[in-house]
Amino acid sequence: MADQTTPPLPPYASETLLRLAPPETAEDRLMLAVLLDAVALLREHATGVRPHRPRLVSDTARWFASDDGWPLSFANICLGLGLDAPTLRGALERELTDLGARALLRPGCAEVIPLRASPVGTWALRERAARARG
């Protein structure tokens, strides 16, 4: 009987980005910073550690889904950094799902919806509401 072990899963998007060699040019550093910031925003929102405005989350998710020709589009940044955009997109979707969020990173229906409340995120929301009440 043949060995039927499953191959290891590819690394999460954040792991992939953090393992990259430091970019040499200012342009590449900017592209990596944009990508890291977008991943961090979705991770923070997905876990409830730092919820962001729905519009910002939706726009960020749509940016990941986009393949347009804008110089700082997700696809162009991946190309500039030598990354495969579809692979990184899949790794991000798996990462967010494993963190407790459903990520639909497809054009037209991009959204990130937390599936469970984080005690930290819930506390922060209660504090903000209490301050607003006076």
**Structure tokens of 107?**
């054009």
Residue 11 lies in a domain: no
Q: Give the per-residue pLDDT at 23.
A: 95
Is residue 101 domain-resident?
yes
Residue 12 domain-assigned (yes or no): no
Query: For residue 68, what are the CA distances in angstroms to 13, 21, 82, 86, 112?
Result: 21, 26, 17, 14, 21
In a domain, 4, yes or no: no
Domain-embedded: residue 7: no
The verdict on pTM exceeding 0.85 is no
* Number of domains present in the structure of the chain: 1
Residues of the chain with pLDDT under 50: 103-104, 106-125
Predicted pLDDT of residue 127: 55
Amino acid residing at 55: R
Beta strand 111-114 pairing with 101-104:
antiparallel
Q: Residue 63 domain-assigned?
A: yes
Q: Tokens at residue 91, please?
A: 């790794």
pLDDT digits (tens, 9 = 90+) for 81-116: 999 999 999 999 889 888 877 544 544 444 444 444
